[in-house]
């Protein structure tokens, strides 16, 4: 099973990734967590290039290609082998981040991005994607509280983050793979929704 979390800045995604990981592990499942950009040594190096420094330090196509390069390394070294080994994979961001940020918001061809990504993953799509939806005004306020150097994207304008939110909703609406969850409720409530949903899905298999 391949589970992905998506959402804007400060949505609480990473907390939920951790909670789901702990829940599945405690229930005896083989499970790993990875993140994008990142997950491997090369991926983490590319993450630093992407998330640190000035907003305009590279153009949008360079940026998109680096995100995809990081995905390719994470796919080959972490995700693909784990899925083959019947391990549940939880990934903090994946292809739909690229479609929302680089495709819809930065106007890079969606067909091009989909082509490259399906080449990387041999057309694999996640079994379930949780979109933690939050007003970026609230999300950015939350994420700025964490002392972190990876703020290149957080420093983009509020208009950009509003477009990201709309892009995600556009991708998620009418897509059975998605569950959209209100990110403004408590950590426990969001976690309960997710564990209930996962239990329904795991038991069905
Ligand atoms: P991250 O620390 O994962 O975000 P957060 O913790 O706020 O959820 O930072 C990743 C940033 O990179 C985030 O702003 C979204 C962006 N991103 C893309 O633009 N395209 C991509 O394909 C991915 C994976 C991330």
Q: How far is CA 186 from the centre of its chain?
A: 20
Q: Which residues touch 142 (CB under 8 Å, ≥6 apart)?
A: 10, 12
Q: What is the pLDDT of residue 205?
A: 65
Q: How far is CA 132 from the centre of its chain?
A: 10
Query: 131 vs 151, which has greater pLDDT?
Result: 131
Q: How far apart (Å, rounded) are the C-alpha atoms in residues 62 and 56?
A: 11
Q: Write the pLDDT tens digit of every residue in 146-166.
A: 777 888 988 899 999 999 999
Task: Output the CA 137–ligand 1 centroid distance in Å.
Answer: 17
Q: Which domains does the chain have, with CATH numbers?
A: 2-198 (3.40.50.300)
Q: What is the pLDDT of residue 154?
A: 87
Q: What is the pLDDT of residue 174?
A: 87
Q: Write the pLDDT tens digit of every residue in 15-68.
A: 999 999 999 999 999 999 999 999 999 999 999 999 999 999 999 999 999 999
Q: Which residues touch 174 (CB under 8 Å, ≥6 apart)?
A: none
Q: What is the pLDDT of residue 203?
A: 66
Ligand 1 shell residues, CB under 6 Å: 9, 13-14, 36-37, 51, 67, 93, 97-98, 101-102, 143, 150, 153
Q: Is the pLDDT of residue 197 over 90?
A: yes
Q: Write the pLDDT tens digit of every residue in 79-107.
A: 999 999 999 999 999 999 999 999 999 99
Nearest atom, ligand 1, residue 38 CA: 24
Task: Output the CA 104–ligand 1 centroid distance in Å.
Answer: 15
Q: What is the pLDDT of residue 21?
A: 98
Nearest atom, ligand 1, residue 152 CA: 14
Nearest atom, ligand 1, residue 37 CA: 24
């Amino acid at each position: 099973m391949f589970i992905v979390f998506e959402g804007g800045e400060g949505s609480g995604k990473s907390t939920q990734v951790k909670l789901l990981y702990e829940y599945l592990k405690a229930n005896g499942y083989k499970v790993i967590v990875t993140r994008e950009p990142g997950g491997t040594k090369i991926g983490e190096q590319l993450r630093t290039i992407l998330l640190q420094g000035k907003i305009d330090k590279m153009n949008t196509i360079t940026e998109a290609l680096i995100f995809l390069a990081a995905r390719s390394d994470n796919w080959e070294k972490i995700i693909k082998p784990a899925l083959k080994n019947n391990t549940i994979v939880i990934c903090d961001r994946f292809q739909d981040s690229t479609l929302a940020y680089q495709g819809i918001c930065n106007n890079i061809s969606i067909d091009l991005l989909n082509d490259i990504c399906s080449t990387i993953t041999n057309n694999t799509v996640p079994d379930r994607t949780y979109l933690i939806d939050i007003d970026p005004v609230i999300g950015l306020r939350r994420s700025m509280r964490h002392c972190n150097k990876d703020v290149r994207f957080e420093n983009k304008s509020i208009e950009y983050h509003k477009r990201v939110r709309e892009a995600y909703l556009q991708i998620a609406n009418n897509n059975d793979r998605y569950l959209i969850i209100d990110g403004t409720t408590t950590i426990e409530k969001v976690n309960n929704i997710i564990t209930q949903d996962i239990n329904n899905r795991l038991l069905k298999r």
